[in-house]
C-alpha cells in the first residue's frame, strides 16, 4: 500500500518514508528518511521540527484551557459563554469548544435562480422539459380512457 500525505501524524504507521529533497536549482530527488532521526538540514527535518513545535503549543493551550475551565466550573461561573472563551489562548483556535454562529436574515433574490436556469440551458430547455411532462401525462390519461372504453365493450 502507498500513502502520499503531508499529515505527519500518520508517520507511525509507515514502513518506509520518502521525502523530496532539493538537489539544485529547481531540481529534487526522492530520499528515504528515518522519521525517528531525520538528518539535519533536510526539508523533512524542518517539517518534523515544525510539527513538534505545533504539537507542543497545542498541548500547552489544551492544558491551560482545561485548567481554566475546571477552575471556572468549580467556582460555579461556568456557562456556555465562559466555556467558549476559556478555551481560546494565544490565538490557538483548535482548542475552542463552542463558536457563536453568525446568522444573517433576508430574502434570496431571483439572480441565483436565473443563473441556474441560464447554465442549465435557458428557458427553451425548461419549456421542452415541461412540454415533455405534459405530453407524458396526456398519453397516460388517453391510455386510461381507452382501456376503460375497450373494457366496457
- Please state, rounded to an integer, the average pLDDT across all residues of the chain: 76
Q: Is 86 exposed, middle or buried (0-12, 13-18, 19+ CB in 10 A)?
A: buried
Q: How confident is the model at residue 7 (pLDDT cuts 50, 70, 90)?
A: confident
Share of the chain above pLDDT 90, in %: 12
Could you tell me if 42 and 19 are in contact, meaning their C-beta atoms sit under 8 angstroms apart?
yes
Higher-confidence position of 78 and 55: 55
Q: What is the pLDDT of residues 97-137, one digit of tens each?
A: 456 677 778 888 888 888 887 887 777 888 899 999 999 99
| Residue 44, CA distances (Å) to 11, 28, 59, 99 in order | 12, 13, 22, 35
H or E segment at 124? Answer: helix 122-152
Amino acid at each position: 500500500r502507498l500513502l502520499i500525505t503531508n499529515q505527519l501524524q500518520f508517520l507511525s504507521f509507515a514502513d518506509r518514508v520518502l521525502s523530496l529533497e532539493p538537489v539544485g536549482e529547481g531540481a529534487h530527488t526522492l530520499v528515504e528518511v528515518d522519521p525517528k532521526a531525520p538528518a539535519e538540514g533536510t526539508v523533512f527535518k524542518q517539517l518534523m521540527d515544525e510539527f513538534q513545535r505545533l504539537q507542543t503549543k497545542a498541548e500547552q493551550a489544551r492544558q491551560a484551557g482545561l485548567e481554566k475551565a475546571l477552575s471556572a466550573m468549580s467556582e460555579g461561573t461556568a456557562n456556555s459563554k465562559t466555556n467558549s472563551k476559556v478555551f481560546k489562548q494565544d490565538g490557538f483556535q483548535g482548542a475552542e469548544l463552542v463558536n457563536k454562529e453568525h446568522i444573517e436574515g433576508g430574502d434570496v433574490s431571483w439572480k441565483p435562480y436565473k443563473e441556474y436556469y441560464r447554465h442549465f440551458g435557458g428557458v427553451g430547455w425548461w419549456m421542452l422539459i415541461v412540454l415533455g411532462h405534459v405530453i407524458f401525462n396526456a398519453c397516460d390519461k388517453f391510455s386510461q380512457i381507452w382501456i376503460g372504453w375497450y373494457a366496457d365493450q
